[in-house]
Chain A
Amino acid sequence: MNSESGKHRVRAKLETRAQELTERLELQSVRSCYICRTCTSSCPVTFIDPRFNPLAILRMVLYGKIEEVLNSDFLWLCTSCYSCQERCPQEIPIADIMTKLKNKAFKLGNAPVGVRAQMDIIKKAGRTYPLDDFDNKKRAKAGLPELPTSCDVVKTLFESETESLK
């Protein structure tokens, strides 16, 4: 009997933790989902990589499996194209939820190496594709104006942003 109620308490605790996280990240809207699958069938990634399925992620959040999502690599396959979000008949902000989850995962240090590398490049160059003199020479040949090769504004912006993410 005692161990029964002990189990109860553990179970309740586990649930509360997932619930807390859901509330803190403001993910409660996943509950509205009625499984029409519009999000998934609209997702360009689910065409290419069966590991990624927006509805499956929402279901995991609903079941309190947020940790599993945060630790996953598939979360990062979302391209933020918003196809799902714009079409969801229950008006669930699916793409925003993906972003929130990615942010949280990042904070936990779960971002894939590629994402971190990309971040560093943007931080340095203000772009994902850094420009150098070679590019500007090519541009000049094509009659295009020169572009700056670094972007300090983005850098400062970035620093404050990464601070808040930590």
Chain B
Amino acid sequence: MQKEVIIVIGGGITGLTVALELAQLGKHPLVVERGPLLGGRSASLPCKATDRCLKCNNCLVEDTLRQIKYDSPFEFMTHTTISDIRREAESWYVTLETGPFFIDWEKCTDCGACYEACARLGASGVVRGASINQHPFFGIDQKACSCLQKGADPACVKECPEGAINILTRPQTRQVKAHGIVVATGYTPYVPPEKNRFGYGRLPNVITTQEADEMLRESGAVTRPSDGRVPQRVAFVQCVGSRDRRIGREYCSRICCGYSLRLALHMIHKYPDVDITIFYMDIQNFGKDFEKYYSEVKDKAKLVRGLPGDFYALDEGKISVSYFSEEQQKNVAQPFDLVLLTIGLSPQEENPDLANMLGLGINEDGFLRPSQADASAVVVAGTARGPMDVAECICDAKSAAFKMANFLEGS
């Protein structure tokens, strides 16, 4: 009998879990990841533990990645997108495009020669995994390649002792006949628009939580971008890019309240003197430990109900934040060393196209929804369906794998 291939679009924690589970059920998933690495956004979540784990869930991701790295239970393709899908009889005919500039992970030994070559040029065309359990550990971000931009031959290609780096004139294509499709294309972190009242993009010490995450993972601390110093006074602004009809996002991103409370506790643990203020509308429950973390934060940080108004630059990179003070019953402006905008999860821009291609629906918030007809041949899982955290993504992935396996058994 021919192998029944299932295409899993997206190699984030959701897609990887779906594939891992399907493989363990004896099926044949093929993960298609457009980026250079596997793991998606969750592979770089930084640990926010204090003297105990605060359940940011990154360890769950590491565990999954570790299993995949050592057992290689399924096939995957990075640097790859789907250029065409046709439905014929009971099968999908999927055209995959890889590259044109990419690392062949089957040859790559994770030695890092390419990365060093690229770094020597001061460029970031070669990207490195955030987790040691990511394999491949290196990949190409074509857009960031400075050699290509200068019209030069990429320096990394000849540095690779394995000859694993390909630069082709056009993408390499492959056609696959698939019996089912799992959509796990994830989300996009919200980025405030160019003109915004928070001063984001204008004031160096106003950053998003996404940027704080990257910093924490990379260097072990959240510091001020302007001078690299540990901030004394930090403001968190909740619901940036969520719960806002003005920008067409009338939903709660669900993960960001928990995110901020964890990060606040982490920072306080590391720097007991840090003075943290969290501006919020409502605090959402997030898992079983919600009440514990919430009351701890109430003790150790200042929670201000209400979103702040104006953000102005002060001396020494400080930011003046104005808000309504409940005690004084009037507006006050307070200086902060660092402002963290707690951004939300946005639907992927390509969702309408994907929906079109696969006969899926789109919900009112712009996330994907399984269609009524032909539901089981295409399954949607993870944050492609709506905001959720990693633990929920894993659960969703397992349920998706179950549905897909049932479908294959039934057909």
Residues of B within 8 A of A50 (CB): 328-330
SS class of chain A's interface: helix, strand, loop or mixed? loop
The 3 A-B pairs of least Cβ separation, nearest first, read A37-B306, A42-B309, A41-B309
- Interface 1/0s, chain B 180-197, versus A by CB < 8 A? 000000000000000001
Residues of chain A within 8 A of B246, CB atoms compared:
87-89, 91
Tell me if B324 and A40 are in contact (CB < 8 A): yes
Q: In this complex, what residue of B is CB-closest to A32?
A: B245
B308's closest neighbor in chain A, by CB?
Answer: A41
Complexed CA–CA distance, A41 and B324 (Å): 5
What residues of B have a CB within 8 angstroms of the CB of A35 in the complex? 281, 306
Task: Report whether B331 and A91 are in contact in the complex, using a CB–CB cutoff of 8 Å.
Answer: no
Contact B328 A41 (CB under 8 A): no
Say how far A32's CB is from chain B's closest CB, in angstroms.
8
**C-alpha spacing A49/B329, complex, angstroms:** 10
Total A-B residue pairs with C-beta atoms closer than 8 Å?
64
Q: A37-B324, A41-B308, A89-B244 are in contact. List 7 more A-B contacts (CB 8 A).
A: A38-B309, A40-B306, A42-B322, A47-B322, A47-B330, A89-B246, A91-B245
Contacts of A48 in B (CB 8 A): 330
Shortest CB distance A60–B (Å): 15
Interface residues on A, range: 20 to 34
A88 to B309 Cα, complex, angstroms: 10
Interface residues of A in 12-67 (CB under 8 A from B): 34-38, 40-43, 46-50, 53
Across the interface, A47 reaches (CB within 8 A) one of B244, B281, B308, B331, namely B331
Question: B residues 321-336 with Cβ under 8 Å of A?
Answer: 322-324, 328-333
Q: Taking A34-B281, A46-B324 as contacts, is the C-beta distance between A87 and B309 under 8 angstroms?
A: yes
Contact (Cβ within 8 A) B324 A36: no
Closest to A87 in B: B197
In the complex, 15 of the A-B residue pairs with CB atoms within 8 angstroms, ordered by the A residue number, are: A34-B243, A34-B281, A36-B243, A37-B281, A37-B307, A38-B307, A40-B331, A41-B306, A41-B307, A41-B310, A41-B324, A43-B309, A48-B330, A53-B329, A83-B309
- The smallest C-beta distance from A114 to any residue of chain B, in angstroms, reads 22
- B307 proximity list for chain A (CB < 8 A): 36-38, 41
**Do the beta carbons of B330 and A42 come within 8 Å of each other?**
no
Interface size on B, residues (CB 8 A): 22
Contacts of A83 in B (CB 8 A): 309
Chain B neighbourhood of A38, CB < 8 A: 306-307, 309
CA distance A89 to B244 in the complex (A): 5
A50 CA / B330 CA spacing, docked (Å) = 5
Using Cβ atoms and an 8 Å threshold, which residues of chain B touch A43?
309, 331
B residues engaging A (CB < 8 A)? 197, 239, 243-246, 281, 305-310, 322-324, 328-333
Max chain A C-beta neighbours (<10 A), residue from B323, B331, B332: B331
Q: In the assembled complex, how far is the CB of residue A57 from the closest CB belonging to chain B, in whole angstroms?
A: 14
Within 8 Å of chain B (Cβ to Cβ): is A90? yes
Q: Which residues of B contact A47 (CB under 8 A)?
A: 322, 330-333
B276 CB to closest chain A CB (Å) equals 18
Q: Which of B197, B281, B330, B331 contacts A36 (CB 8 A)?
A: B281
A91 to B329, CA, bound (A): 24
Q: How far is the CB of B395 from chain A (nearest CB, A)?
A: 30
A37/B305 in contact, CB under 8 A: yes
| Shortest CB distance A52–B (Å) | 9
Could you say which residues of chain A place their CB within 8 Å of the CB of B308? Answer: 41
Give A118-147 interface residues, CB cut-off 8 Å to B: none
Which residues of chain A are within 8 angstroms of B243 by Cβ–Cβ distance? 34, 36, 89
Chain B residue contacts of A41, Cβ below 8 A: 306-310, 322-324, 331
Cβ contact within 8 Å between B331 and A89: no
List residues of chain B with CB within 8 A of the CB of A46: 324, 330-331
Please name all residues of chain B whose beta carbon is closer than 8 Å to the beta carbon of A90 when the two chains form the complex: 245
Encoded as 1 (CB less than 8 Å from any B CB) or 0, chain A from 78 to 113 comes to: 000001000111110000000000000000000000
Bound complex: CA A34 to CA B308 (Å)? 15
A39: nearest chain-B partner, CB-CB: B309
The CA-CA distance from A91 to B246 in the complex, in Å, is: 6
Bound CA–CA A43/B245 (angstroms)? 20
Taken together as a complex, chains A and B put the C-alpha atoms of A42 and B323 apart, in Å, by 7
State A49–B328 Cα separation when bound (angstroms): 11
Closest A residue, CB atoms, query B330: A50
Q: Which partner residue on chain B sits nearest A34 by CB separation?
A: B281
Q: Which residues of B contact A53 (CB under 8 A)?
A: 324, 329
